Structure 1
Amino acid sequence: MKLQLNKVSRALTYALASTATMGIMSTSAIAAEGDEATDKKIEKIAVVGSRAAPRSVGDSPVPIDIIGGEELSKGGGDDMLELLKGSVPSLNVHQNPISDAASLVRPANLRGLPADSTLILLNGKRRHRSSVIAFLGGGINDGAQGPDISTIPSIALKQVEVLRDGAAAQYGSDAIAGVINFVLKDASEGGSFSVKKGQYFEGDGDATTYEGNVGLPFSDDGFANLSFQYKEADPTSRSVQRPDAAAFASAGLEGVRDPAQVWGAPEINDDISLFANVGLDLSNNDQFYMFGNYSERDVRGGFYYRNPTTRPGVYGGVIRNVNGTPSRRDPNDVEQQKLWDAAMPTILVGSLDGYDQQLNCPVVEIGSNGLPDQAALDSLTAANCFAFNQVLPAGFTPFFGGNITDTSFTVGTKGEIDEGYFEGAYFDLSGSVGRNESRYFITNTVNASLGPDSPQDFSPGKYIQLEKNFNADISKGYDFDLAYEVNVAAGLEWHEESFEVVSGDEASFLPGPLTQQGFGIGSNGFPGFQPSAAGVFTRRNYGAYIDIETPFTDEFLMGWALRYEDYDSFGSTTNYKVTAQYQATDDLSLRGSISTGFRAPTVGQANVSNVQTNLSSGVLVDSALLPPTNPIAVQLGGSELQPEESQSYTFGAVYQSGDLFLTVDYYNIEVTDRISQSEKIELTQADKTALKAAGVPNVDGLAQVSFFTNDFDTTTQGVDVVANYSMDLLDGYSTFAFAYNWNETTVDKFSAITGDFKVKRLEEDLPKHRSSFTWSSQWETVSSFVRANYFGEYQGVHVDFDQTAKIADASVTIDAEVTYFATESVSISVGANNLFDQEPEKLDFVGATGIPNNNWGGKYYETSPYGINGGFYYVKATYTF
C-alpha cells in the first residue's frame, strides 16, 4: 500500500504514545530498550475497526482500547471477565449467586447492553456462543446468550482490542455495543510458567492457578505458540442464617444447615484451558494459520433453602376447607393464597394407595413451635401415607452445577495475490467450528412426585451450541490520485448455528404416582429436560460486505461500509456505517461515526423450553420458559422473534502532545425491538387447560410462564475519557492512566410483558459513572502498580426486590501489586484486589420500616458492581525463559 511518509510517522507516533488506552503500560515494554522496546510498543496497533492496514488507536476514526497481555497478567483474579473489567470502565460484570446457569457462565455488559450485544472475536474470527442461556440474568442479561469469555487465559494473549463502537456493518450480528478481539501470542521461542495462590480476606475462596506458555518453531518458517491454564477455587459465603432456619434449630429440629442458604461464588474444580496458535509461511506472500482451544471445568453452587413447612409441591400445598377437611392447595388462587400465608396449618401429605385415598390420610398440623406435629407424622406410615418431613425433616437446599466443555478450531490461509487482475490484493480464506456443551447436575434435592422412591441426585440434561463459519475476504488499494491509495475490501461469510437440547435422566422429569396429589414434578429446583423438548434446532445465514476507506487529504479520512445478511428464519437485513477522522493540528484530531446494526435472535432463544424456580410473593414457585411460538406463549403475547435493530453515532477527539495521550468520545445507541425474557406471567386455570391442549406436559405444577420477546426499545448514551501520561519519577519510569465512563440507558417503549420493575433494573442496576486511575512504576529490579476504581451509585437488588431495592452509595476500591525480579528469569509478585476490603451495600431494611432484611440469608445486594466477596490477596511466582 502506497502510504506517505508523514502518515506512517503519525501512526507510529500514536502507537508508541498510546501504551494501553485503558490500563497500565506493560512492565516488559517499559523495561525494554532499543529496538525491542520499539517493537513491543508498535504492537499496540489494532486489527479491529478497519479493513485496511492495522492502525494505531490514536489514528483510528473509532474508539479502540488496546490491553497488552502483560497488563492482563496483573491482578488477583484469573477470570478474563474480571481482568477486563478492571481495564475497561464501560464493561460491567456481575457475580450471579443462585441464578441457575448464569452462575456457571457469567454474562458481561459493554456500554450497558446485554452480553450478546458485543461481538467476540479470536484472532479476528467470530467466536462461538456459550450453550448457557442466562434465564436468571439479573435484569439486563435476562435471556442473554453470549460467548464464554472466561475460557480464554490471559497467558495465551498478546493483546485484547476493544472496539467501543457499533460495527455490525463490518462484522455482522451482535456488534451493537462493540467488538472485543482476543489476539493470541505468536512468538516462536521463549515462554513462561507461573503459580498463583490467593484467598479472600474472609478466609474462604482459596484459589490456585498454574499457567504456562511456550513458543516453538514450526519448521524454519513458522511458529507454534502453546498455552495452558489450570485452576481450582473454593466457594465463598457472604450469608447469614435465615430466620426460619434459625427458628427450626431453636425449636430442636436436628440437621438444619448453618447457613441454610449460601450467597457467594461457586466452587470451581478442574478448570483447564489449552490454547494453540500456529502459523507457517508458505511462500514470501502466503501464510497458513491454525488456532483453537479445549477448555473444561466443573462448577457447583447452591439454590434456595426449601423450608420444611411451606415449600409448595414438596412440604406445603394444603389448606383446610371451611368444614375442616384438608384440601390440595392451588397456589394460583389468590384468596386461597392469602389463607395459606396467614395460617399454614398443615403439611402436604400424600396417599401411597392413590389419589382417591388421599383425604383418608392423617392431617399433619404445624404446632405453635413452627414444627409439624410429630405424633401425626409418626402415624403416616401405618396409614400408608407419606410426607417429605419423614425423610428430610430439616428441609433441604439443592446444589446446582454443571460441567462446561468448550472447543474451537480455525484453519485458513492469507497473503498477497502476486499476479492477475487482483495483483497486490490481500486475501484471507478461513473455516472455523466452535462447540460449547453445558451438562447440568443437581444434588441434594427430590422429585417430589416420586415420593419416598425419589433419588436425591439428578442429571437434568445438557445444552450444546455448535457453530460453523466460512469466510472469504479480499482487500486492495487503488490509486485515485488522493492523499494515498483508497482501500477497498469485500467479503463473503457463511454461518450455521445449531442449538441442541439433550434430555435428562428419567427421574429428573418423570411424573410420579403422587403427581395428582399436589406434589411437584421433576428434580426440584431444576427439572430435567424431557424427550419432548429435546432435539437439534439449526439456522443458516450468509452475508456479503464492502468496506472502503477514502483518504481525501493527508488530514481527512472517511470510511464506508455496507453489509447484507440473509437468514433462513426471519429473512434479510442491510446495514451501513460511515466513519470520519480529521487531523485538525499536529496534536489534535477529531473523529466520529454513524451506523446501523442488528442482533439476530439466537437459535436457543427461539426454541428453548425450561422450568426454573423463582421467588414470587414470598413463595418459591416453578415457572416454565416456553418458545415464543408455543400456543400458550402466543396467547399471552408471544410471536416469532425478529432481529433487534440499532442506530448509533459517536463523535470525539484525540489529543497527543509529548508524553500525554487523551481521547474523549460521546456515543448514542438506539436499539428497537430488544429481545429479552418476558416477565413471569401468572397462569390461570384456563391457561393451564390451553397448555395441556397444546401438548405441554406436567402443567399442574407450574405457576408462571415466560418467553422471549421483542418487547421494548432503549436509548443508551455516554462518554468515554481516556488519558495516559509517562514520565521519569523517583529514579524509575512511571505511567499514569485515567479512564472514565458515563453511561445511561433509558427505556423508550415497553409493555406489561416487560414490566415496570424490569425497566427500573435496565435503567438503574448499573452505575452510571465508573472510572479508574492507575499508577505503574518500573525500577531496575522492582515494578509496581496501584489502581483506584470508582463505582458510582447503582440500584441494589436482592431476591425479594419488590420490597428491598434501593439506590446504593458510590464506592472506591484499590488494587495493588508489587513484583520483585530476583533474577532475569524469576520474579515474585504480591498483590491484592480491593486492598482495603471495601464492603458492598448491606441489606439492612425493608422499605421504610427499618426491619432487618435477612429473610433469604443474604448480607449484601448482589448487584454490587465489584462483587460481594470483599478483598482478595495473592502471591505469584513466575519463571520466564
Structure 2
Amino acid sequence: MYVNDTPGKGEVGTDMKSIPTAAIERVEILRDGASAQYGSDAVAGVVNIILKKNVDFTKVNINSGVTSRGDGFNIDADVNHTLTFGNGGFLNATLGFGYQDYTNRAGEPGKDNLFGVNNQWTKDNPDLGMIVGQPEMKKGDLYINAEYPLSDDTVIYAFGGGNLRKGKSFALYRPPYWITDDFGLLTPSGEPYNGFQPTFETNIKDILFTAGSRFKLGGFNADISATYGGNSVDYTIGNTINPSLGANSPTSFDAGAYAFSNILGNFDVNRSFGEVSVGLGIEGRQERFEVTAGQEESYINGGAQSFPGLQPGNALNETRVNVGAYATIDWDVNDNFLVGGAARYENYSDFGGNTSWKINSRYKIGEAGVLRASYSTGFRAPSLHQVYLSNVQTLVSGGTISNQGTFNNVSPVIKDLGVASLFAETSKNISAGLTVKASRDFTISFDYYNVRVDDRVLFTGEINGTDDNGNPNAAVQQILNDNNVTSIKFFINAASTITQGYDFTLRHKNINFASGKLGLNAGLNVNKTNLEGEVKTPTKLNNYKNKIFNRKEQSRITSARPNMKFLFGADYKIGDFTANLNNTYFGEVTWRHASDPFKDQTFGGKVVTDLSLAYNFTDMISFRAQVNNLFDVFPDEIDPKGDPVTDLGGRFRYPWEVNQFGFNGTSFKAGLTFKF
C-alpha cells in the first residue's frame, strides 16, 4: 500500500516485477472496460501476459550496467529452458538472479532549514548524509509454464513460480535529539548536530501457481482451474534507535510484516453456434490480509526513529469471499459487422453485490481499417488493505517531526468520527477507436476513452485538533491524545472523477534504407482527469473538507502525472546488426501546495532519449548494449519558495510528490545472450 506523499498514494500496487521478463513471450492489452467479464479492477481494461511455451532452444542472458555517476551498479542473469515429454507435453522454466546497488541524487542541506540547526550532512557520506534514489536490491526468480495433453480434447496445464527480493532504502531525516549515550549514531551533549542515516530494509516474497485443465463438455470448450497467489513484505529498520530506551536501545529492529493472498477457482465454457458465440463462467475467490506486529522495542514509547514498528493493535488476519458469474455473447451480423455484450454479477461478503454490463461493436472498412466502440459499467471493490490498514509513521508535518496514525475503516476511532464503511467504486466507460492498415507495413490507430469513477476511495490528508478555519475541535483532539498521535488519516469514499483522453499510434516498417530495413514508430497520449462535484465528508468533520482532501491531495489525482506523453522512435536492421533510437516526451506536471497557491510549482516537459544496439556474432551468441537517458536529462529542480517542508529542508533536489520520469540520469547496460 502506498501511504507516503507520492503519486498513487492510497493505492495497492500491482507488482509486474514478480514475473521475470525472460519468462514472457508477449503482453496483450484489452483497452475497453472489462469489469463485465473479469470483475473488479478491470475498469479500464486488462493486461494479459502470455508466457513462453514450447521453445526449441535454451537461452541464457547475462547483463550488467552502471550510471554515468558511477553508482547504481547492477548485474543479472537468467536462463530459459524447455523440457519436452510425451505426445506434445512441455515444461518451460525460467531461473533468474539479480543485484542492483543504490543510487543517490539527494540535495545537500548545509544548514538544516527544516529543524533550524547546523549540521555536517554531505551527499558523499551516507553515515551522516541522506540517500534519495533507487534502493539496493537483491532478487531471485523461478517460473514455469507447462502443458500435457491427455487426449485430443483434454489438456492439463500449470504455470507460476516464486520471486524473492531483499531491498534496502534509506530514511530521510532524524530529529535533533541531544542524548549523552554514544552509539556512533547519537549526538553527544554539546557537540554539533550531525544526525544519522536510518535504513529501511524489506524482504519480499511473491508466489503464484495455477493448475487446470481444458477439455470438451457437451460440445462446449471448457476450462477449469485453481490458483493461489501471495505476497509478503517483512520490514527491518536499521542504523537507528528508540530514544526512549536510551543506552539499552537496539540499533536494528524487526518492525513487523504485511501479507496478502488469494485463492481462486474458475470454471468457464464457450461455444460458437454459427455466427453467434457465447461464453459463461463462474469464479470463487478468498482474499486474506495479514499484519504482524514488530518487536516491542520497535514501537514502545514512540518507537524507532524513521519508522515505529507495527504494534499489536495493528496486527490482524482478515479474510473475505466473493463469488461472481458472467455471460458474454458476440454476433457476427455479417462479414464486416460484429456486436457483442457481457454482464457479470459479483457478491462480496463484506459489502454486498454489484452487477456490471458492457456492449461493444466492431465494423470492418473493407481490408483497410476497423472501427470499434464500447460502453461499459464497472466497479472496483475497496481492497482489504484500504479497509484494514493501520500504522503509525514518523513524518514531517507542519515543519516538525510527528507521529501520524493511519486508523483502519473498521476502527472504533474512525467510527467515532462518523466515517462510514467503505463501499465499491463504480464507473462508466466509453471508448471508440479506428485502426487503418494503409499497407502491409503501415498501420495507424486512434482511440478515445472517457471513464467516470464515482465514490473513489481516497486516503485523506492529516486530520488534527483544528479544522479548516483554525478553530479547535476538542473531540478530535481528545481522540489524538488518547492514541498518542499528532494527526489521523483514514480511507473514505469521498470524490468522483472523469478521465478522458486519446491515444494515437503509427508504425511504418520494412522501409528500404542504406541496404537495410528501417522502421518508424510514433505514439501520443493526451489525457485529463477532473474532479466532479463536492468532496463528501462525515457530518462530524464537515469543517475538515479541505484537510480531508486539500489542494495537494487533489493535484495528486489531477496533475501529478503527465497529461501528455509522446514517443518517436526508429529501428534499423542491416545484416546481423540492429539499432533502436527512441525519444519520449514527458509532459509537464504540477505540484500544488496544501494551502498556499503561491508555492505551487510546475515542472516543465522534457525529452528522454534511449539508444540500444545489438549484434549477432553467430546463431548462438549475440551482444547488446544500451544507453538510457542518453543526454542526461533531469526533471526541473524543486523551488521551495521559502517552505522547507516542500523539499524537506533541502534533502530533496528533484520532485518526489509528482512524477514524470526518474532522476538517475544517464545509465549504461550491456549483455550477452547464448542460445543452444
Moved more, 502-511 or 867-876: 502-511
Matched, 1:264 2:165: no
Partner of 1:679 in structure 2? 461
State the partner residue of 2:557: 762
What is the aligned partner in structure 1 of residue 540 from structure 2? none
**In 1, Cα distance between equivalents of 2:230 and 2:596:** 36
Normalising by structure 1, report the TM-score: 0.70
Q: 1:712 aligns with which of 463, 470, 495?
A: 495
How much does 1:389 deviate?
5.0
Tell whether 2:153 aligns with 1:285. yes
One of 49, 59, 64 as aligned partner of 1:182: 49
The Cα shift of 1:767 comes to 1.0
The question of whether the paired residues in 2 share the 8 Å contact of 1:237 and 1:264 is answered with yes
Cα gap change, 1:854/1:148 in structure 2, threshold over 3 Å: closer, same or farther? closer
DSSP-derived class of the 1:450 partner: helix
Higher helix share goes to which structure?
1
Q: CA deviation at 1:503?
A: 1.2
Counterpart check, 1:395 vs 2:203? no
- Structure 1 residue corresponding to 2:227, chosen from 429, 432, 450: 432
Query: 1:850 & 1:387 partners in 2: Cα distance?
Result: 23
Cα separation, 2, equivalents of 1:625 and 1:281: 51
Query: Is 1:598–2:379 an aligned residue pair?
Result: yes
Deviating more after overlay: 521-530 vs 793-802: 793-802
CA 1:395/1:851 → structure 2, altered by over 3 Å: closer, same or farther?
closer
Q: How does 1:209-608 map to 2 (within 5 A)?
A: 209-244=76-111, 260-269=129-138, 271-308=139-176, 315=177, 394-417=194-217, 422-423=218-219, 425-479=220-274, 485-511=275-301, 521-608=302-389
| Counterpart amino acid of residue 179 in structure 1 | V
Is the CA contact 2:550–2:594 (under 8 Å) kept in the aligned structure 1? Answer: no
Cα distance in structure 2, aligned partners of 1:465 and 1:282: 35
- Report the CA distance between 1:560 and its aligned residue: 0.4
RMSD (Å), alpha carbons: 2.8
Amino acid at match of 1:834: N
1:824: how far off?
Answer: 0.9
Q: Are residues 1:734 and 2:518 paired?
A: yes
Contact 1:245 1:256 in 2 (8 A): no
Separation in structure 2 between the aligned mates of residue 216 and residue 391 of structure 1, nearest angstrom: 66
Bigger Rg, structure 1 or 2: 1
Q: 1 CA distance for matches of 2:379 and 2:433?
A: 23
Q: Spell out structure 1 runs of 4+ moving beyond 4 A.
A: 245-253, 255-259, 386-393, 796-804, 849-854
CA contact (8 A) 1:195 1:209 kept: yes
**Could you say which structure has the higher strand fraction?**
2
Task: For 1:6-25, list aligned pairs within 5 A.
Answer: none
Q: CA deviation at 1:796?
A: 4.8
Matched residue of 1:682: which SS? Answer: coil
Aligned residues: 649
Q: Select the residue among 630, 642, 650 that pairs with 2:431.
A: 650
- Residues 634-684 of structure 1: per-residue CA shift (max 9 Å, x gap): 343522110110001011111112121111010000000101211111146
Offset from partner CA, 1:571-619 (integer Å, 9 cap, x none): 0000001110111333122110000000001112111211122222221
CA-to-aligned-CA distance 1:212-263 (integer Å, 9 cap, x gap)? 111110333211001122111111111132233599777899x985762221
State the secondary structure of the residue aligned to 1:533: coil
Task: Tell me, in whole angstroms, the C-alpha distance in 2 between the residues paired with 1:799 and 1:652.
Answer: 39
Query: Which residue in the other structure is 1:689 paired with?
Result: 478
* 1:81-115 C-alpha deviation (Å, 9 max, x unpaired): xxxxxxxxxxxxxxxxxxxxxxxxxxxxxxxxxxx
- The SS at the match of 2:490 is strand
Distance between the aligned counterparts of 1:405 and 1:851, measured in 2? 34
Q: Conserved in 1, the CA contact under 8 Å of 2:128 and 2:197?
A: no
Letter in 1 for 2:202: G
1:878 counterpart = 2:673: yes
Matched residue type, 1:564: Y
Pair 1:203-2:54 in alignment: no
Report matched runs for 1:784-795 at 5 Å: 784-795=579-590
Tell whether 2:594 aligns with 1:811: no
Residue type of the alignment partner of 2:611: A
* 1:700-759 superposed Cα distances (whole Å, 9 cap, x missing partner): 2x1110011111100000001111111232212222221110111001132522222211
Equivalent AA in structure 2 for residue 582 of structure 1: Y
* Map of 1:669 onto structure 2: 451
Which residue does 2:470 correspond to in 1? none
Q: Distance in 2 between matches of 1:389 and 1:502?
A: 37
The answer to whether the aligner puts 1:612 opposite 2:393 as a matched pair is yes
Is 1:867 the equivalent of 2:662? yes
The structural deviation recorded for 1:432 is: 0.4
1:272-292 residue CA offsets vs partner (Å, 9 max, x unmatched) = 111100011111111110011
1:855 aligned onto 2:649: yes
Distance 1:242 1:251, change over 3 A: closer
Which ranges of structure 1 fall in alignment gaps of 5 or more residues? 1-132, 309-314, 316-346, 350-376, 381-385, 480-484, 512-520, 694-698
Q: Give the aligned partner of residue 13 of structure 2.
A: 146
Match status 1:748 vs 2:525: no
Q: Sort the Cα spacing of 1:454 and 1:854 in 2 relative to 1 into closer, same or farther, 3 A.
A: closer
Structure 2 stretches lacking a partner, 5+ long: 466-472, 537-544
Task: Indicate the residue corresponding to 2:486 in structure 1.
Answer: 703
Give yes or no for contact 1:612–1:623 (8 Å, CA) kept in 2: yes
Kindly provide the amino acid, as one letter, of the partner of residue 410 in structure 1.
T
Distance 1:577 1:236, change over 3 A: same
C-alpha deviation, 1:532, in angstroms: 2.6
The share of aligned pairs that are identical, in percent, is: 31
Partners in 1 of 2:620 and 2:474 — Cα distance? 71
- Report which stretch shifted further, 242-251 or 290-299: 242-251
